[in-house]
A and B are shown apart, each in its own frame.
Chain A
């Protein structure tokens, strides 16, 4: 399973875009990039996932570089409720095995 590297913490002003980077330089061709977030005292919550193309849903956008070695999760207009730990995970297409790292602690500031 490919490993991911994320900054331990980030701050973002409320209303601004939050851009959370993730490095996954050892990713292989059939591995997906998933993003989850965990708000204090709750279980992790799915945000978005992608393989090669950029993806957007009602929560966020996912930008994957052409070489697939890194990705960025974008929260377009961060709110205080987006304060959480964000996890970037690489998952093989056949294993459905999710290995969480230490994530990025995002703090949205008023």
Chain B
């Protein structure tokens, strides 16, 4: 089966510009996650969707970050305006819950953002 797809793989922008990342989860996976991973740190959960509803966005800097998951499939994460400290890899993951499933996360390859 196809894995989690993310694009773009790399993006370089200047501070105060905007950027958007796209994620297509594994087919049938109801839960989708966006993580931010700064160099040398573990992934930090930004937002968790269940179908097209938000389960947790407590760590999402809502003054500049936004995310949506229209129709409960693809998702977009936007940063506007970007700051230097937003330089990181943005990881998208999906999972299939329910009895008999492990609930494991399947990650995409990530989108590496550099803010100059």
Contact = CB atoms under 8 A, between A and B. Distances in A.
Contact of A43 (B31, B48, B110): B110
Contact of B31 (A46, A49, A96, A102): A96
A90 B43 CA distance: 14
Contact of B95 (A44, A45, A96, A102): A96
Given A43-B91, A43-B93, A49-B102, A99 B45 contact: yes
Interface in B60-116: 91, 93, 95, 97, 102-110
Given A42-B109, A91-B103, A98 B42 contact: no
Interface residues of A, number: 21
A77 interface: no
Interface residues of B, number: 26
B16 interface: no
Contacts of B95: 96
Interface of B: 4, 31, 33, 35, 41-45, 48, 50, 55-56, 91, 93, 95, 97, 102-110
Nearest to A99: B45
Given A46-B102, A91-B103, A102 B42 contact: yes
Contacts of A45: 107
B109 A46 contact: no
Contacts of A49: 102-104
Nearest to A47: B104
Interface in A2-25: none
Contacts of A85: 42
B107 A100 contact: no
B105 A98 contact: yes
Q: A-B pairs with the 3 shortest C-beta distances?
A: A43-B107, A46-B104, A100-B42
Nearest to B108: A43
A34 B104 contact: yes
Nearest to A36: B105
A95 B31 CA distance: 11
Given A43-B108, A43-B110, A97 B103 contact: no
A30 B49 CA distance: 22
A97 B55 CA distance: 9
